[in-house]
Every structure is written in structure tokens, then in C-alpha cells.
Amino acid sequence: MSINDLHEFISLLESNAELSRINVASDPRLEIAAITNRVCKQPEGGRALLFEQPVGSRFPLATNLFGSLRRTCLALGVEDLRQLSTQMAALLDRIPEFDLAHLDRQIAALKEFSRFTPISAPPCWTRPMDPPDLTTFPFLQSWPDDGAADGHPRYITLPQVVTAAPDGTNPNCGLYRAQVRGKRDLALRWKAGSGAAQHLEKFRRLGKPMPVAVVLGGPPVTLFSAMLPLPGDLDEMSFAGFLRGAAIGMAACQSVPLRVPAAAEVVIEGFVDPTETVVEGPFGNHTGSYALAGPAALMRVTAISHRPGAMIPATVVGPPPMEDCWMAKAWERLLLAFLQRLVPAIADINFPLEWIFHQSALISLDKPNPGMVREIAARLWETPWFGEARLMVFVGADANPDNERDIAWRCINLIDYADDIFHDSSGRRMALDATGCRLPRQPLQTDPAMEQQILQRWPEYGIPLK
């Protein structure tokens, strides 16, 4: 099922008993985040939440929309996330000479991918706000000290930030931190080397301000695509179309030369002066502590438009399990297809929820042998996906990486501690070879005949099955 916008997705969640409506006044300053945090910690991620009466705003706000395996599957239109691995592998199989350094160009050149190039469509966000005022929206303060450095605690937590090169080419859509600093000011915090940072540097060299659009809502696949660490300069909107099997409709902004999803809830437009920065932060995140305050780009808002009956999507970031952990599980399945083309010996991977945002993984290998793990670890450390991985644990293909208790058992029992724990040359990245291929051992085996006998006689024993 191809979901066109946030309204369709919320209706789908409600019809599947995956949504709770909160129809009492709820404060975007700390209260909504505290409620969401508690629900995220429930088994299977709890339900999505729609706050219909956020204090100080007429716009409803939705959280935990993708905070479970089931809701992530519904957002991406699949029954099982493993379908993403199959879909991605089928596309990559069309590339005869897999080249990681130029993978973005190789994928973009495929007819099977280029047919999902975005198309023009009339915008749903037909209500201009005059004058623009960010403070009318129920943007969240999640943790008590958020934004304390400059006294601006509220953030847009699911902003799809759209930029492009000065000549309008190479559009980028990234999920960056956006701090509300008043009616018409946003602080945007992106990492060095990100798509937006590269664009800003080009505008700096020209001495011109950079157009920026911040999009809220739209087809759920666009949010996932903005979050994913896609290869190189691969266009996020084309990839979103590939994920859902239908091109994304795009519309031109009013005051900046950019195109954004036509089905968005809210579109915030403006310019960033490359010479102007502000102090953003601190910001509570998945580490259980605050990311330090630091310099951020300042966006001067020139226009805000929204659709009739707009709803605001938001998320809360903190110690796992949280919504972003389940969203990252979609990337895990897509990444598996990339890795298996790069290293065919990789059988499967698993990002434990507590490890996801440290690029750390459990990785199973077909027919491991001594020395193989070190070679594969070194190769993965050279990729953008594991370049900062704090820990990689390798096991044999007889182990299921999703069975974290079994992996923990193997890490204690199948490791030669003299040789199977090693670091890279910087000492900041570590890998464990828990395949057991170095150790002489005779694995325990059950007696098939006895197992069958016990199965047949089980009712006689009178032991209840739980």
C-alpha cells in the first residue's frame, strides 16, 4: 500500500489499533515528551500518540508514529522488513561492477531506479501564514536542559531539511536538528560533510545566502529516506519513490528556489547566511546525556505554509528503546543488501537497539576461518557505514544475530582472548571474533531419536508447556 501523506498514515494506524488519541490539554514543554518516553518503553513500542489539544497551539501533534516494528512496516508498505533486503538486492544485482566509491552514480543510472525521479504535483500546503510565526506550532521541549545555552528549549524534531547546490542541482534532504529561536529564526545543526554542509560551503564561496526549506510530514517514506545514510549524493526523493514503488510528487516553494513534497503538512522557507552562526544546544539524546552546545547555522524564515487541518509530526530522542531505534531497523535491512554485495561472506546483521546510533552491529559470516574476521572488519571500517563503529561482533552463520542472548553466550565461550579481540590502528574501534573458528571444539549435539521419543511421550510426563 502506497501512503500519500501523514493523514492517510494516521488513519491506517487507527484502523489497525496502533493509535491512541489524547484529547485533554497536554503541554509541548516537557509533558508530551514525558508521556511519549513512557509509551516508547512499553512492550513492542506501545502505540502512536495523537495529542489533539497541545497547550498554546491549534495544531494537533503526533508522536511515536514509527515506534514499533509493525508501524515501521506499515509506513514502508511491507509485511516484513526483510522485504527491503530483497528489494534492494534486486536493484543492486543490476550493477555489473559494484563500486562503493561511485555507488550513488551507479544506482542513479539504472532505469529501474530513475523511473522514480520525482514528478510535479499541486501542493497540499495551500494556507500561507501571514506573518510567518514558528511559535504558533506545538514544537517540543523534550528534556529540562534542552537549548539551555541560549535559552531556546523547543525543537522541530522531525524536520526534513531540503537544500541544493547554487545552480539548483544535487538536491539534498536530511534529518537535522532544528531549534526554534523565535517567530522567524531556526538554528540548524548538521554535521561537517553532510549534504547540507557541503551545499553551504559552496554558497559561502560565492558570498551568497543559501535557500533552505524545512518540511514536516508528507509520505512517510520521505522521512525514512531523509534519515538513511544513503551512498554519496543519491537523491533522497528518488530513493523514497523507489521504496514505495511510486514517484514522489513535488511542488515549488513560494520564496526560495527549491522543490519539496507536495503532500507535506507544513513547509518552512528561508535563507541561511554562511557567515552567521548561533549557539545551539545542549540537546538530550540517545546516549542518556546531553550533546554539547555548539555553533549552528541560522535560518531566517521568509514564508510558512501549511495544509488545511495540518498535523505536526514529532519524535522524542533518548535512551533506547525509542522510536528512532525502530526506524533504524529499516536501514539495517537495506544495509544488508549493500554489505552482501561488498562482502559476500556476510550472512546477516543485527543492530541491537542499544547500539544502533554507534554504528555497532552483530554480524554473521558464512564459513569463517582464522584471519577472515580481521580482514572483513578492516574492510567495513573503511565504509561510511562503519567508519565510526565502536564495536562489531562477528559470529558464524549457525548463529542468529537477532538472538542477542545466544550471541552474548558465544562472546564468552567461543573467544580466544589473546587473538580474537582486536582494535584498529586508532584504538577507538574494536571487533570481536566470536565465530569460534580458532578454537578446537566438538559442539554438543542432541540425539534426534531421543528428541522424537520425548516429543511423542510429552503428554505422559504431565509437564505443562508455557
For the domain that residue 35 is a member of, what is the CATH number? 2.30.110.10
pLDDT at 1: 65
The residue ranges of DSSP E strands in 121-219, in sequence order, are 127-128, 155-156, 160-163, 172-175, 177-180, 185-189, 210-217
* Widest Cα–Cα separation across the chain: 84
Closest CA to 189 of 87, 315, 317, 278: 278
Same domain, yes or no: 271 and 362: no
Is residue 177 within 8 Å of residue 280, measured between CB atoms?
yes
pTM: 0.94
Helix (H, G, I), strand (E, B) or coil at 361: strand
Distances (CA, A) of 141 to 33, 40, 133, 425: 7, 17, 18, 41
Give CA–CA dist 441/396, Å, rounded: 14
Same domain, yes or no: 71 and 159: yes
Same domain, yes or no: 395 and 291: no
pLDDT tens for the 466 residues of the chain, in order: 689 999 999 999 999 999 999 999 999 999 999 999 999 999 899 999 999 999 999 999 999 999 999 999 999 999 999 999 999 999 999 999 999 999 999 999 999 999 999 999 999 999 999 999 999 999 999 999 999 999 999 999 999 999 999 999 999 999 999 999 999 999 999 999 999 999 999 999 999 999 999 999 999 999 999 999 999 999 999 999 999 999 999 999 999 999 999 999 999 999 999 999 999 999 999 888 999 999 999 999 999 999 999 999 999 999 999 999 999 999 999 999 999 999 999 999 999 998 887 889 999 999 998 889 999 999 999 999 999 999 999 999 999 999 999 999 999 999 888 889 999 988 889 999 999 988 777 878 889 999 999 999 999 999 987 6
- Residue 319 domain flag: no
Tally the domains of the chain: 2
Give CA–CA dist 322/222, Å, rounded: 20
Same domain, yes or no: 287 and 140: yes
- Residue 227 domain flag: yes
Same domain, yes or no: 304 and 421: no
CA angle 215, 30, 45 (to 5 degrees): 75
pLDDT at 445: 85
Same domain, yes or no: 170 and 292: yes
- Residue 203 domain flag: yes
Same domain, yes or no: 209 and 94: yes
Q: What is the CATH number of the domain that holds 408?
A: 3.40.1670.10
Residue 257: CB atoms within 10 A of its CB come to 11
- Residue 445 domain flag: no
- Residue 416 domain flag: yes
Same domain, yes or no: 268 and 356: no
- Residue 463 domain flag: no
Is residue 217 within 8 Å of residue 5, measured between CB atoms?
yes
- Residue 447 domain flag: no
Give CA–CA dist 209/190, Å, rounded: 17
- Residue 461 domain flag: no
Same domain, yes or no: 264 and 361: no
Same domain, yes or no: 120 and 230: yes
Listed in sequence order, the residues at least 6 apart from 173 whose beta carbon sits closer than 8 Å to its beta carbon are 160, 161, 162, 195, 215, 222, 225, 226, 236, 237
Same domain, yes or no: 270 and 194: yes
Is residue 215 within 8 Å of residue 186, measured between CB atoms?
no
Range of the domain at 69: 6-313
Same domain, yes or no: 247 and 298: yes
